[in-house]
Amino acid sequence: MHFEEGLTFDDVLIIPQYSDIEHRSDVSLATKIFSNYSLELPFVSANMDTVTEYQMAFAMAQHGACGILHRYMSIEEMLTELENYKELFVEHKLDYQSLIVSLGVQDEARLEAAYGAGIRHFCIDVAHGHHALVKKKIQAIRDKYKNEVHIMAGNVASYEGAKALYDWGADCIKVGIGPGSVCTTRIKTGAGYPQLSAIINAAKAKNEIKNKELFLVADGGIKYYGDITKALAAGADAVMMGSIFAGCKETPGIVWRNENEEMTKSFRGMASAAAQSEFGIENINEEGIALTVKYKGSVRHILPRMAKGLRSGLSYSGAKTIRELQEKVRFVKITSASFQESKPHKASR
């Protein structure tokens, strides 16, 4: 029997250190998720059908972040999404930034169609990335396209899983098994890993490989803006989020009013019964839920708040860049009482 201790975001705080940063504007949040794919903000909207299609991906790109197009659509629909995305850049007179397209392990036709449409960045998107079929898929892409394409793959949660994906040919890995707000994998299967430790494990694997520029995206588990700082400090180059962006104007789906006259939108895990039923997926264990969230307005109002919180987070460690944060960070493990103390509260008599 093998036993490990794992920590998640609520289990730690970042210890404040000496800082000579006079203003948040002195802090850079610039990062990369591929060698040729730079971001001004380390935020990625999740490749979920209630989060990212072309409008959300474009809105993210406008602010220096990015979105990953989900794969639960026909190839024809995907090509329309790609064309609409390009047209938005032309109408707004912006330099075109290639959309990242998700693939399943059997998506050869989707890959070829997207490549033909000019896409060179792909995300191999499966629940359990440390798997023989993922190895086969990455190696097949490398054999056919060599280094013409850039591959993100996941999800994994262990050092061994991360190292395997890098060794198989992934440029970037996606880390997180079970931390998402609409994911029930850990409850339904008993499998998973606390997200902060999962990121640390994967970052260790990334940093041990010296002959290639590699990247890491932390996927899931973000409940508070401070969790973003912790994820990046632990070794992530960017953070993927679904629930924080769910309900935004730019996400797919319509706005409707519930029985309390509140404006809402739908949000669901891609392994939920609702998603599986709609896309005709059979004989797969249900590992997600579907729900409604309050309508949040445009993502352009959310991203600046997130960026301000992150810049402040870096300044508490005296770090002007994400890389400097990773070099300087010191975590303290806390108790449940400490976590309660961290949240808003009032004195009682």
Pairing assessment for the beta strands 256-257 and 263-268 based on DSSP bridges: antiparallel
| Cα separation, 217 vs 238, whole angstroms | 5
Distance (Å, whole) CA 196 – CA 19: 24
Alpha-carbon torsion angle 272, 277, 282, 284, nearest 10: 0
| Catalytic choice (66, 123, 172, 183) | 183
Dihedral over Cα of 114, 116, 121, 127: its sign: positive
Is residue 248 annotated as a catalytic residue, yes or no? Answer: no
The structure tokens listed for 43 are 């935020």
H or E stretch covering 217: strand 215-219
- Residues 227 and 220: beta-carbon distance below 8 Å: no
Residue 30 and residue 318 in contact, taking contact as beta carbons nearer than 8 Å: no
**Residue 286 is encoded by which pair of tokens?**
């249900």
Peptide bond into 155 cis (omega under 30): yes
Integer angstrom CA distances of residue 114 from 52, 89, 119, 120, 124: 17, 18, 5, 8, 13
Point out which residues pair with 38 in neighbouring strands.
32
Amino acid identity of residue 334, one-letter, is: I
Comparing CA positions, the residue from 143, 87, 141, 89 lying closest to residue 115 is: 141
Query: Are 152 and 174 contacting, i.e. CB atoms less than 8 angstroms apart?
Result: yes
Catalytic residue among 8, 50, 185, 264: 185
Residue 183 designated active-site: yes
What type of residue is 337? A
Q: What sections of 95-238 are H helices per DSSP?
A: 108-116, 132-145, 159-168, 185-189, 195-208, 225-233
Catalytic residues, by residue number, are: 183, 185
